[in-house]
Amino acid sequence: MQKKKKAVYNPEVELAKGATLDAASYDKTQKIKVTVPKVTVGGIPGRAEISGIATGRIEPGIDGTMDLWLSIFRFMRPDGTINHVAGWNIPIVLKPGQTAAASAKAFADYINAGTRPYHATASGGKIKIIFTEK
């Protein structure tokens, strides 16, 4: 039986770890595209851009909605403990005629109101998400 080697904290490796950012639009006229697909422990923000005016939700169902996803991941802290960060599905319901800027703000408001270790800012149709726990 081999003894487990004690993991060594490597800041370059650990700070590069983070959540993968993904997005989807279920709206006919408003789209979302991820431009930076990783939100790292070291502070590199994930980014997405929204374009178009929303058709919006007209009846119950997935049509007229948009989602962001942040994947589950693990990283080691400097003291050697492992932090497990849960994934997160972030949905918003679009209103008919909603602008890209309003949709980006809705995502930022949802993220900032949550208890997860993320903070978001919106500027125009662009959203920036950072990891806030180290």
Each residue of 33-57: pLDDT tens digit? Answer: 999 999 999 999 999 999 999 999 9
Q: How many residues does the chain have?
A: 134
Which comes out higher in pLDDT, residue 4 or 126?
Answer: 126
Q: pLDDT digits over 51-94, tens only?
A: 999 999 988 899 999 999 999 999 999 999 999 999 999 999 99
Range of the domain at 41: 17-131
Query: In this structure, is residue 82 part of a structural domain?
Result: yes
Query: In this structure, is residue 9 part of a structural domain?
Result: no
Query: In this structure, is residue 30 part of a structural domain?
Result: yes
Burial class (CB in 10 A: 0-12, 13-18, 19+), 133: exposed
How many domains are there within the chain? 1
Query: In this structure, is residue 1 part of a structural domain?
Result: no
Q: What mean pLDDT, rounded, does the chain reach?
A: 94
The pLDDT confidence band at residue 5, using thresholds 50, 70 and 90, is low
Query: In this structure, is residue 84 part of a structural domain?
Result: yes
Considering just the CA atoms, what is the radius of gyration of the chain in Å? 17
Q: Which pLDDT does position 47 carry in this prediction?
A: 98
